Amino acid sequence: MECFEVFSNAKMIFQIGGNLGKSVQNMLDEANQRVAKVEINQAMEWINDGDTVFVDVRSNESIRQSCIIQGAVPAERGMIEFYADQEHSLGKSELKPEKRIVLYCTAGGQAALAGATLLDMGYANVVNLGSFQAWKDAGGPVEDV
């Protein structure tokens, strides 16, 4: 494999004849191995227990076009690191490492990736609910934003 250094402040390296790191499928597979999945009926038991925070990692636009799980914290996946860091100015006080964090998105992939990030940041009890639509279809409580 040949590598060429390209002049820039970041000193980017381009590979010739090889892949550049992991594919999204590899990343999803790894995240799904690390982040436990939770069944909807189990998550419904946690909705008002005081120990659980539901986190919607869909885009703000997606949330505005539908609704969210009752009491959920909107936290776009692209900002999850900032929202989860309690010492950062964008940190969300609802996201506490000692709480059970239930992540969901449109289909489950973004939630898995966000869950892996939270585990990397020291959150210990993180689960993936998967699809918001499945929650709605099962009669889970929702609210407008």
CATH assignment at residue 43? 3.40.250.10
CA distances to 16, 27, 45, 47, 52 from 42, in Å = 48, 26, 5, 9, 12
Assigned domain for 5 exists: no
For the cut 60, the answer to whether the pLDDT of residue 8 exceeds it is no
Return the C-alpha torsion angle 56, 59, 60, 65, nearest 10.
-90
Assigned domain for 13 exists: no
Assigned domain for 42 exists: yes
**pLDDT value of residue 10:** 40
Assigned domain for 14 exists: no
Assigned domain for 64 exists: yes
**pLDDT value of residue 6:** 39
Assigned domain for 7 exists: no
**pLDDT value of residue 18:** 58
> How many domains in the chain?
1
Assigned domain for 6 exists: no
For the cut 80, the answer to whether the pLDDT of residue 56 exceeds it is yes
* Encoded tokens for 50: 């005081």
Assigned domain for 136 exists: yes
For the cut 90, the answer to whether the pLDDT of residue 112 exceeds it is yes
Looking at residues 59-65, what average pLDDT do you find? 94
CA distances to 1, 42, 72, 103, 140 from 124, in Å = 39, 18, 19, 13, 25
